[in-house]
Amino acid sequence: MMTHLNKTAKIIDGKVFAASIRQQVSDHVKLLNSEHQIIPGLAVVLVGGDPASQVYVRNKAKQTREVGMRSFEHKLDESVSESTLLDLIVKLNQDPEVHGILVQLPLPDHIDSAKVIDMIAVEKDVDGFHVVNVGRLASGLDALTPCTPLGCLLMLKDLHGDLSGKEAVIVGRSNIVGKPMAQLLLRNHCSVTVVHSRSQNIKEICQRADILVAAVGRAEMVKADWVKAGATVIDVGINRIENNNVKPRLVGDVDFASVQPIAGAITPVPGGVGPMTIACLLANTVTACCRIHDLAAPDGLGA
């Protein structure tokens, strides 16, 4: 799953890896259909007309159909009431053709996101944001896991195999990436440290890491002297840099140019972690479908 740009740099190709995940999903969807006459279904709810969200939702729907699953898209007006949105989620919870429900975030200010997430049936919560799934993950139980950290873990396991005993440092403590990433690495027997805005000696802590995951949303924050030689660096950040009279460019939370020659392996931005997120959403939907029907979930697609 890696390409080599030079003798020292190993670039983890998220596009190639995501394609392999989608193929595994597609194969299992065919198996479910042929052996059990079941077709997994993913419902995506979009509130409002945010252009970036619209593109993202279109991509999700397209990839859902490409792997043979059903795609249910619900586009609601920006002014929709909270009660109307909650009523829709109740209907999706009860729909036997829907195995995964995703409500695109952020939601308008007049809608309580926590209330919406809490309304999604735990077994259909393919974003892994419901407090029950969060608690199950922390307790070491089967849980639907947030897609981005799941993608990071799958890449790490593909690269290293057994992660036992490795020292992992995560930069950032968000509920979407940092915290679930820590739980996943603990589950795989790493020694885990999470650093954040209140941490002291962040650079020195990062220098110890065999696995360094940057998920803080600060452009090129992680510099070469933060990284131990040979470390694996997973860059979750997506930051748009705008310069006068120059086309905007996307960069990660890692200063790629300076870190690349030092790291043993590194994900680029774009083309690293990003493509894995939708692939893992599809994987979570298949996993949810299997569990709902008391069938074995596919190996290699979960935590």
34/36 Cα distance (integer angstroms): 6
For residue 106, say if its preceding peptide bond is cis, omega within 30 degrees of 0: yes
Which residues belong to the active site? 60, 104, 127
DSSP 3-state of 124: helix
Position 296, amino acid: A
**C-alpha torsion angle, residues 56, 62, 65, 67 (rounded to 10):** -80
Q: Is 83 annotated as a binding residue?
A: no
Q: What 8-state DSSP symbol labels residue 225?
A: G
For the chain, counts of helices (H) and of strands (E): 10, 12
Q: Is 197 annotated as a binding residue?
A: no
Q: How many CB atoms lie within 10 A of CB 280?
A: 28
With beta carbons less than 8 A apart as the criterion, state whether 303 and 149 touch.
no
Q: Is 173 annotated as a binding residue?
A: yes
103/44 Cα distance (integer angstroms): 6
287/40 Cα distance (integer angstroms): 9
Q: In whole angstroms, how large is the CA radius of gyration of the chain?
A: 19
Q: Is 234 annotated as a binding residue?
A: no
Q: Look-up: residue for tokens 């991509």?
A: 59
Annotated binding site for NADP(+): 172-174, 238
